[in-house]
Structure 1
């Protein structure tokens, strides 16, 4: 059975292009995998930012953490468990000011955790999350996906690769501020071409 994890990060609610694309991507995945389990995580209202106490807890061996440190990492534990349980992760990636949203960055910071999603080795960092593939729903007002001004896509690929996820597909609706209908049509063509 296939498990889909959907992450929404747009602050635009029902007006969000990435949410609409996410709906279509999930529908396509569910059509290809009847009976798939869907987990959803809307981070748009905010996820706690990591801080010094969080880092201290993360670098303390699990069997030595006190109650406060365990509480500090509880959300991170939950988010990592969702990620590791997923076969496919659908990430809404709206582009604000050339990069990803603050809430999406906060989610990434919570899931990038030493000993849980990556380890340091003599050969360099090694990712520990090798199971899921990612489909990112990219939307921007005017930044073409893959252009020199697109800082979001390379960052997402880099950070996911760091934790072991290398199968990353981007569905792009770029230029929605210029011609939203055309941008959505291009994205829908890409969704239709998604392989099961």
Structure 2
């Protein structure tokens, strides 16, 4: 059995998304001792920013005319796509940055698409847990309702394009405890945290069951 784990936090030592993903992973590995966990951390080991353009242009270039850089980018794109194809289960920990996904995650997703094709169902039926964390509140009735341009994108790529059997764990208000002006939200943030911890454990158990 092979679990693919991806992290995208730029703060790996204090990542709120990793905290939740760790709980889900622990449930999976407890049920599959000795199994393989393939890891990719985009925050601490980012992919080359120009690789997607190189791989994409290479696809429109005659094989004999491809540059070494294009060939390298194509190989990387193929490797990333194969990591998903080979997975029996997937956990992704993807924080919310600047009202969207980080450049690190976007480069990865674009390269996977370059390696597999724009509509390849790489995760068809594969149980997948997406953990996403947001510093503020973006739900109905909040001042920034509708500003979350990350979660819908992630769901489109994972569930609609790659056809994963997707479970989403979303924790908001992660910055309430440390950010001036958010003091009155601390209790609500604590409840969000507790609920997310429980959801992560349950998602890990469900990952095993599926």
Same fold (TM over 0.5): yes
Partner Cα distance (2:132, 2:22) in 1? 13
Q: Which digits, 9 at most, give the CA deviation of each residue in 1:60-101, with x for residues without a partner?
A: 47x657462322212212211111111212111101122111
Q: CA deviation at 1:40?
A: 0.5
Count of aligned residue pairs for this structure pair: 186
Partner of 1:166: 164
Structure 2 gap ranges (5+): 177-185
Partner Cα distance (2:156, 2:33) in 1? 31
Partner of 1:122: none
On the 8 A contact 2:52/2:107 being kept in 1, the answer is no
Q: Which has the higher strand share?
A: 1
Q: Which digits, 9 at most, give the CA deviation of each residue in 1:128-151, with x for residues without a partner?
A: 312533211111111347963322
Alignment of 1:138-149 (within 5 A): 138-144=132-138, 148-149=146-147
Q: Which digits, 9 at most, give the CA deviation of each residue in 1:20-39, with x for residues without a partner?
A: 11111110111233333101
Q: Relative to 1, partners in 2 of residues 1:136 and 1:161: Cα closer, same or farther, differing over 3 Å?
A: closer
Aligned-CA RMSD value: 2.4
Partner of 1:117: 116
- For normalisation by structure 1, the TM-score amounts to 0.82
On the 8 A contact 1:127/1:161 being kept in 2, the answer is no
Q: Which digits, 9 at most, give the CA deviation of each residue in 1:36-62, with x for residues without a partner?
A: 31010011132112454321213447x
Q: Which digits, 9 at most, give the CA deviation of each residue in 1:86-137, with x for residues without a partner?
A: 1212111101122111111111111012xx5235xxxxxx423125332111
Partner Cα distance (2:53, 2:38) in 1? 30
Q: CA deviation at 1:165?
A: 2.3
Structure 1 gap ranges (5+): 120-125
Q: Relative to 1, partners in 2 of residues 1:108 and 1:51: Cα closer, same or farther, differing over 3 Å?
A: closer
Partner Cα distance (2:73, 2:117) in 1? 19
Alignment of 1:29-48 (within 5 A): 29-45=28-44, 46-48=46-48
Partner of 2:180: none
On the 8 A contact 1:89/1:135 being kept in 2, the answer is yes
Q: Secondary structure at the match of 1:193?
A: helix
Selected match of 1:183 from 176, 186, 192: 192
When Rg is computed on C-alpha atoms for both structures, the one with the higher figure is: 2
Q: Which has the higher helix share?
A: 2
